[in-house]
Amino acid sequence: MQSLDNALSLISSLVKGFAHEFVALEEADGRILSKDITADRNYPPFNRAAMDGYAIMQSDWKKGIRKYKVAETILAGQASQTQISSGYCYKIMTGAATPPVADVIIRREDANELDQEVELRADDLRIYQNISREGEDTKKGDLLVKAPVRCSSQIISLLAATGNHLVSVYALPSVSVITTGDEVVPLPAEVTAFQIRNSNQFLLKSLLKKWQISAWFSRHVADEINSLTEALSQAITSDITIINGGVSAGDADYVPAILKSLGVREIFHKVAIRPGKPLWVGQTSEGKVVFALPGNPLSCLTTFSIFVESFLFKSMGFESRPLYKLPILQDRSKKHPLTEFFPVSLDPKTGGLQILPFNGSGDITAGLFADGLAVQPDDCPSLLNGDLVAFYPFRSL
Ligand SMILES: Nc1nc2c(c(=O)[nH]1)N[C@H]1C(S)=C(S)[C@@H](COP(=O)(O)OP(=O)(O)OC[C@H]3O[C@@H](n4cnc5c(N)ncnc54)[C@H](O)[C@@H]3O)O[C@H]1N2
Ligand code: MOO
């Protein structure tokens, strides 16, 4: 049985890195950028008027001039046609380019608009008042966002602002999802007394969607050697195969043996964690990776979130995944020597972690309102209120 750290480093050793591809900006939400974003020009690209008003020369104001003739009206997007001299101003709109000769804008609210001229008022006049100067936000060539990073709405906006209508992202892997078990029935079939519905298939597909991945091959297979062999032989042609159930010690837990018979090399079987101990990980001779996750719903969620996601993060260029240390808000003890993952919610008032009780890893409500998983290390029999614990968020925070 592997320790958690060993299991994670064995998984890292399987990473070859996904290819890069270009996608349209409209399709980039939630994808992982594979190329840095740099500024294609200065921002603002010109001395941008920040207010509707009148642009003057500060030197005129200092001379005591308060009434100005309007030389020209400059709208956003227009180039100015005139060069003002003393006693003249531009009428200018927010977002328009302020000609270099003008170095102050007085708001329209502080102007008395007369027939051919305008009388301006200001208590305190500062150079470049109401002008956002060229390059003051960022300079051409500046690194704005370092890859890899998940495309948020703000990043999408920045990509658009900097002219990237095609975006370089990490290509998505092909993924198969196979659930197993005689007792597991698909929706919307009726369940008999000793059957259960196939929730993990939906769980896994939903977890993959966070990465914008849809499984190309998805099937439920009974605990029967021939059908499992047939389905798994197809599934393992994918970059990543995720199998659920049939990996512990039961008479019908055929998955590890069948994978081996199909030439999948076992990297490890069993990790010293709870839930999720029976996890099996292997690799085909072509380098495709196979995760066989334990069947209990919380074990499935945990092993996906910790192991499959670590593999995805690394394959998409992240050195490590975001991991937080946050205070736990209750005492917690454990009697076994395994590292324990448990569902927690983020307390909005304190920023600490509330422990969410559940009734074992088969409880369908376990982790229902959790924001992520917290960790009680193998050698730590008790956690005290206020102790910092590792926190793996379910969503990128
Ligand atoms: N003698 C031992 N027994 C067990 C061990 C062990 O080490 N020695 N490990 C236990 C642990 S921990 C877990 S977790 C389970 C995992 O077993 P399997 O991965 O072989 O999974 P199954 O036995 O097929 O199912 C376990 C449980 O999960 C339910 N299940 C399965 N698939 C689905 C699905 N698609 N949707 C919803 N629920 C599912 C299944 O009905 C079982 O109740 O083994 C322990 N036993
Ligand atoms: O992974 Mo198992 O859930 O520890 O019962």
How far is residue 203 from each of residues 72, 208, 301, 367, measured CA to CA in Å? 63, 9, 7, 12
CB 46 within 8 A of CB 63: no
Q: What is the pLDDT along the chain (397 residues), one digit of tens a residue?
A: 999 999 999 999 999 999 999 999 999 999 999 999 999 999 999 999 999 999 999 999 999 999 999 999 999 999 999 999 999 999 999 999 999 999 999 999 999 999 889 999 998 899 999 999 999 999 999 999 999 999 999 999 999 999 999 999 999 999 999 999 999 999 998 999 999 999 999 999 999 999 999 999 999 999 999 999 999 999 999 999 999 998 988 888 899 999 999 999 999 999 999 999 999 999 999 999 999 999 999 999 999 999 999 999 999 999 998 889 999 999 999 999 999 999 999 999 999 999 999 999 999 999 999 999 999 999 999 999 999 999 999 987 5
What atom in ligand 1 is closest to the CA of residue 223? 24
Distance 219 CA to ligand 1 centre (A): 18
Distance 8 CA to ligand 1 centre (A): 22
> What residues contact residue 386 under an 8 Å CB cut-off, 6+ apart?
327, 328, 329
Per DSSP, the residues of 289-353 read: EEEEE-SSHHHHHHHIIIIIHHHHHHHTT-SS---EEEEBSS-EE--SSSEEEEEEEE-TTTS-E
Distance 11 CA to ligand 2 centre (A): 20
Angle subtended at Cα 315 by Cα 161 and Cα 164, rounded to the nearest 5 degrees: 15
Ligand nearest the Cα atom of residue 198 = 1
What atom in ligand 2 is closest to the CA of residue 277? 1
- Atom 16 of ligand 1, residue of closest alpha carbon: 294
How, if at all, do strands 289-293 and 217-221 pair? unpaired
Q: What is the pLDDT of residue 382?
A: 97
Q: What is the pLDDT of residue 324?
A: 95
Ligand nearest the Cα atom of residue 299 = 2
> CA-to-CA distance for 40 and 122, rounded, in angstroms?
37
The interface predicted TM-score of the complex, written ipTM, equals 0.97
Pocket of ligand 1 (CB under 6 A): 179, 181, 183-184, 196, 198-201, 244-250, 253, 275, 277-278, 294-297, 299, 361-362
- Atom 31 of ligand 1, residue of closest alpha carbon: 295
Pocket of ligand 2 (CB under 6 A): 274-277, 294, 296, 299, 361
Probe ligand 2: pick from 4, 247, 253, 298, max atoms within 8 Å of CB? 298
Distance 223 CA to ligand 2 centre (A): 19
The stretches of the chain forming alpha helices (DSSP H) are 4-12, 58-62, 153-161, 199-209, 225-235, 255-261, 297-303, 309-315
Global pTM value: 0.94
What atom in ligand 2 is closest to the CA of residue 303? 1
CB 213 within 8 A of CB 259: no
- Atom 9 of ligand 1, residue of closest alpha carbon: 248
- Atom 1 of ligand 2, residue of closest alpha carbon: 276
**What's the number of CA atoms in the CB half-sphere (13 Å) around residue 323?**
14
Q: Name all domains of the chain by residue range, CATH numbers in brackets.
A: 4-18+172-315 (3.40.980.10), 31-41+138-170 (no CATH), 48-132 (2.170.190.11), 324-393 (2.40.340)
How, if at all, do strands 88-92 and 67-74 pair? parallel
Ligand nearest the Cα atom of residue 248 = 1
